[in-house]
Amino acid sequence: MSLASLISFLKSKESIIFNAVVALLTVGGQQLFSFFAFSCPCSPTENLRYGLAFLGVPALVLLIVGLVFNDNTWRLFTGSTYDSSIQERSTQSILMKYKLICFVLGNIIGRALVAPITWLAVTLLNGSYYVCAVSEFASVDRYDIFKNLSADVRRRTLAQFPCPQLVPSNLTRFKDEVVLELKYQSQISGWLLIALVAVVFFITLCVARCCSPLTYLHLRYWTSYVNNEQALFEQATDQHSKIFAMENIKKFFGFSPGSKNVSEIRIPSRLDWKTVSGLDLLKVVNQEYCHYSLLHAWVDEDPTDGKFIPIDIEQVPGSIPPTVTS
């Protein structure tokens, strides 16, 4: 397989590769997190809160991060719609709109769930967090040694099982059996979670493909087009914004950065500096235009030419003297 074919294949599987990388990073992070940060308190009531916190809080944080760093999230929330007075909408068009919203929302949630589900699955397969969280609730009725203990003493004793150094020597064998059973429950739950996610993913993918109006090859072309359009749009955005910013900076300082034919410079006044300094949010000028920065707003106000002073071109490093014409 040639390099070009390999790159083309990887681009066509971009979503799968991205999800796989996120899953692998989550697995690695979970292992490091478990090794350096997890330490069960081995105390009644504290075990449950501590174990559930390590199970749920990182998963919630990963879910939020997945939502925040997905561009489609902000496209969905900041997308504009046509006013009904501008474009008459039929029932079919409205239905199509909500179908599109549901599709995009499903795509966003699906990608965001990769990391938290991986965290939960790996954590359950590891078993340490689950053992810490539910050790005090373990069923030990089959052991005679626990029958004579009160409920509080039994819970306190079971809560110490995740910490071998705290368990009395006469309970070591029972501790090993209880911890082994709890790890079995945790790992079974982890595999069931993985199986459930795999089945749901497969069914959702099949339903989405069946409901799609595009054929398989047409869908591949559409995916390729969207990726290429986004890449070219970002390149054009970078170039356009540089040119636009260059014009505004030239208005403020009297020359463009990198110019080699600078014969004079503009000296901004104190009012100019005050106008362009500070923090600013995106401000809408009218229904068609907006100000992207304080400097942009200053330029749109069409300020006076201000003070210009000539400079000695020969003393400017890298400058080229202007051509003298008769």
pLDDT at 79 over 70: no
Mean pLDDT of 85-90: 52
pLDDT at 220: 85
How would residue 84 be classed by pLDDT, with cut points 50, 70 and 90? very low
115 and 26 in contact (C-beta within 8 Å)?
yes
Structurally, the chain folds into a number of domains equal to 1
pLDDT at 53 over 50: yes
Residues found in the chain: 326
Task: State the amino acid at position 319 in one-letter form.
Answer: S
More confident of the two residues 24 and 133: 133
Which tens digit of pLDDT belongs to each residue from 220-257? 898 889 889 989 999 999 999 999 999 999 999 988 88
Provide the residue range defining the domain that includes 191.
Answer: 10-213
Quick check: is 40 in a domain?
Answer: yes
Mean pLDDT of 114-137: 90
156 vs 151: CA distance, rounded Å? 9
DSSP 3-state assignment of 307?
strand
pLDDT at 126 over 80: yes
pLDDT at 65 over 70: yes
Strands (E), 64-174: none
Mean pLDDT of 24-44: 79
Among 20-24, 124-128, 259-263, the minimum mean pLDDT is found in: 20-24
Quick check: is 230 in a domain?
Answer: no
pLDDT at 5 over 70: no
Mean pLDDT of 19-37: 76
pLDDT at 142 over 80: yes
pLDDT at 175 over 70: yes
pLDDT at 240: 96
Quick check: is 315 in a domain?
Answer: no
The gap from C-alpha 267 to its chain's centroid, in whole angstroms, comes to: 44
Q: Give the largest Cα separation in the chain, rounded.
A: 114
pLDDT at 214: 81
Task: State the amino acid at position 101 in one-letter form.
Answer: I
Quick check: is 122 in a domain?
Answer: yes
Rg (CA), the chain: 32
More confident of the two residues 83 and 147: 147
Among 52-61, 127-136, 172-181, 302-311, the minimum mean pLDDT is found in: 302-311
Mean of per-residue pLDDT scores for the chain:
81
pLDDT at 317: 57
Mean pLDDT of 145-159: 84
Among 25-29, 91-95, 145-149, 152-156, the minimum mean pLDDT is found in: 91-95
DSSP 3-state assignment of 16?
helix
pLDDT at 187: 94
Quick check: is 63 in a domain?
Answer: yes
pLDDT at 20 over 90: no
Residue with tokens 């110490």: 160
How would residue 183 be classed by pLDDT, with cut points 50, 70 and 90? very high
Pick from 26, 31, 191, 30: which is nearest to 125 by CA?
A: 191
Structure tokens at 234: 């970002």
| Residue percentage of the chain with pLDDT more than 90 | 21
Among 62-66, 133-137, 147-151, 215-219, the minimum mean pLDDT is found in: 147-151
Mean pLDDT of 70-82: 74
pLDDT at 12 over 70: no
What sign does the CA torsion over 164, 170, 176, 179 have? negative
Quick check: is 119 in a domain?
Answer: yes
pLDDT at 323: 45
